[in-house]
Amino acid sequence: MTSFDVDPRPKYLRYLVGAIPKFLRRPPTQIRNDTGLASHSSSVFTESLRVTAKEVNACLDDLLPLPEGPERRVAEAMRYSALDGGKRLRPFLVSASADLFDVPRPYSLRVGAAVEMIHCYSLVHDDLPAMDDDDLRRGRPTCHKAFDEATAILAGDALLTKAFAVLSDAASHPDGLIRCKLVAVLANAAGAEGMVGGQMLDLLAADADFDEQQTRRLQALKTGRMLAVSCQMGALLGQAEPDAMKDLDSYGVYLGAAFQIADDLLDLEASEADLGKATGKDEAAGKATFVSLHGPERARKVAKTLVDQAVAALDRFGERAESLRAAAVFTVSRRS
Ligand code: IPE
Ligand code: IPE
Ligand code: MG
Ligand code: MG
Ligand code: MG
């Protein structure tokens, strides 16, 4: 079986299923109903997200030891920012994508932990006074509040660099070429042409009138790239064929766009207690979001359409991609 050939059903059955129109293949209630996920699908997803979070937390705990000596302070700040809280959606996407190709779990967990390190660094820096100036993150004081600004900057720097040290270690995958590809795609997604570039646009948008196209681009870079690359890295671990890789990437791009719109809606509508971070900040800071451009109702509709597009991109993977479909629905139905 090639890594592309992920469907365990006999070929004749797959051919027959392929002849059935797409909208008839899967009862929609298995995926979602008008109120979001069907309860079965939703609880299965919540449980697997919880299990992955637990496994990734253990992995991060191992990967972030506390050294002796006064430099220990930066390691404490790294652990503070990476270990407690967070949905761990990016590691989930790495593992769920890698699962499509039967990648051994220890590899996908380490790779997910590396992606999460970069995500946590981006949050530490995003919260700094020079950026969003936030005091609360994951229900606790932000890193610069719990430590100090300089330590928070260094903790972010160290989480970023540690991620690449983790990926380059043979424990992440025995094949050096695959490790090299993992490093390259993550560096591109996180850097000036990806997340950092999006954060730059986010800052510039406060003093400019971004239109819909510019706002879409901003969000695709600052949030979409890290979510999409998580799927791509799972596929790389599984040595997926180009078409499968492309579909997983499309899924990640749609999911990423929906995810940031949901974040913007939560900023407007959710409570600080539920989110574990300050709310109502985007409007106050004049951020360019779908909500500020079109209002919450239209933003919700756009997010739902993006989820449908994400789900449709998974067709080739059949039932094995059920957890990724549920993750897409969760993206917009989540309460935190
Ligand atoms: C928040 O990401 C920052 C954005 C990219 C919108 P998450 O909502 O995934 O934050 P955690 O990791 O669960 O705290
Ligand atoms: C942050 O976006 C995206 C990152 C790259 C960290 P936001 O500024 O909207 O994220 P929150 O709302 O503070 O989590
Ligand atoms: Mg921000
Ligand atoms: Mg912020
Ligand atoms: Mg936000």
Residue 273 has pLDDT above 50, yes or no: yes
| Ligand 2 atom having least distance to the Cα of 266 | 12
| Ligand 2 atom having least distance to the Cα of 260 | 9
Query: In the predicted model, what is the mean pLDDT of residues 41-67?
Result: 95
Q: Can you tell me the distance from the alpha carbon of 116 to that of 92, in angstroms, rounded to the nearest whole number?
A: 10
Probe target for ligand 1 pocket from 52, 57, 123, 334, with the most ligand atoms within 8 Å of CB: 123
User: In terms of C-beta density within 10 A (0-12 exposed, 13-18 middle, 19 or more buried), how is residue 177 classed?
Assistant: exposed
- Decide if 129 contacts 145 (C-beta within 8 A): no
Probe target for ligand 2 pocket from 120, 223, 287, with the most ligand atoms within 8 Å of CB: 223
Query: In the predicted model, what is the mean pLDDT of residues 56-61?
Result: 98
- DSSP for 270-301, please give it: S-HHHHTS--SHHHHHT---HHHHH-HHHHHH
Q: What is the pLDDT of residues 141-168, one digit of tens each?
A: 999 999 999 999 999 999 999 999 999 9
Q: Whose CA is nearest to atom 5 of ligand 1?
A: 223
Query: In the predicted model, what is the mean pLDDT of residues 279-289?
Result: 91
Distance 126 CA to ligand 2 centre (A): 6
* Contacts for 283 with CB less than 8 Å, ≥ 6 apart: 268, 292
| Ligand 1 atom having least distance to the Cα of 138 | 14
Q: What does the mean pLDDT of the chain come to?
A: 90
247 lines ligand 2 (CB under 6 A): no
Residue 42's pLDDT band (boundaries 50, 70, 90)?
confident
* Strands in the chain per DSSP E: 32-33, 36-37, 136-137, 140-141
Please give the residue that has the higher pLDDT: either 10 or 319.
319
User: Measured at the alpha carbon of residue 172, what is the angle toward residues 51 and 72, in degrees to the nearest 5?
Assistant: 80
User: In terms of C-beta density within 10 A (0-12 exposed, 13-18 middle, 19 or more buried), how is residue 246 classed?
Assistant: middle
Q: Whose CA is nearest to atom 12 of ligand 2?
A: 263
Distance 133 CA to ligand 4 centre (A): 8
Nearest to 262 by CA among 221, 229, 224, 231: 224
Q: What is the pLDDT of residue 39?
A: 55
89 lines ligand 1 (CB under 6 A): yes
Nearest to 331 by CA among 224, 250, 247, 232: 224
Q: What is the pLDDT of residues 199-212, one digit of tens each?
A: 999 999 988 999 99
Q: What is the pLDDT of residue 35?
A: 35
- How many beta carbons lie within 10 A of that of residue 166, not counting itself? 22
Residue 31, token pair as written in the block: 């995926």
Please give the residue that has the higher pLDDT: either 207 or 21.
207
Ligand nearest to the CA of 122: 2
Q: What is the pLDDT of residues 170-209, one digit of tens each?
A: 999 999 999 999 999 999 999 999 999 999 999 999 889 9
Local structure of 138: helix, strand or coil: coil
Ligand nearest to the CA of 224: 1
Residue 36 has pLDDT above 90, yes or no: no
Supply the pTM of this predicted model.
0.89
User: Measured at the alpha carbon of residue 244, what is the angle toward residues 219 and 232, in degrees to the nearest 5?
Assistant: 40
CATH 1.10.600.10 fits 9-333, yes or no: yes
Residue 6 has pLDDT above 90, yes or no: no
Q: What is the pLDDT of residue 40?
A: 54
138 lines ligand 1 (CB under 6 A): yes
294 lines ligand 1 (CB under 6 A): no
Poorest-pLDDT segment among 35-49, 99-113, 134-148: 35-49
Q: What is the pLDDT of residues 229-257, one digit of tens each?
A: 999 999 999 999 999 999 999 999 999 99
122 lines ligand 2 (CB under 6 A): yes
Q: Whose CA is nearest to atom 8 of ligand 2?
A: 126
Query: In the predicted model, what is the mean pLDDT of residues 31-53?
Result: 71
Residue 17 has pLDDT above 50, yes or no: no
Residue 41's pLDDT band (boundaries 50, 70, 90)?
confident
Nearest to 95 by CA among 41, 45, 47, 56: 56
| Ligand 1 atom having least distance to the Cα of 263 | 6
Q: What is the pLDDT of residue 286?
A: 87
Distance 129 CA to ligand 2 centre (A): 14
User: Measured at the alpha carbon of residue 310, what is the angle toward residues 127 and 178, in degrees to the nearest 5?
Assistant: 75
Locate the domains of the chain by residue range: 9-333
Please give the residue that has the higher pLDDT: either 9 or 334.
334
263 lines ligand 1 (CB under 6 A): yes
Instruction: Using a pLDDT cut of 90, give the percent of the chain over it.
Output: 84
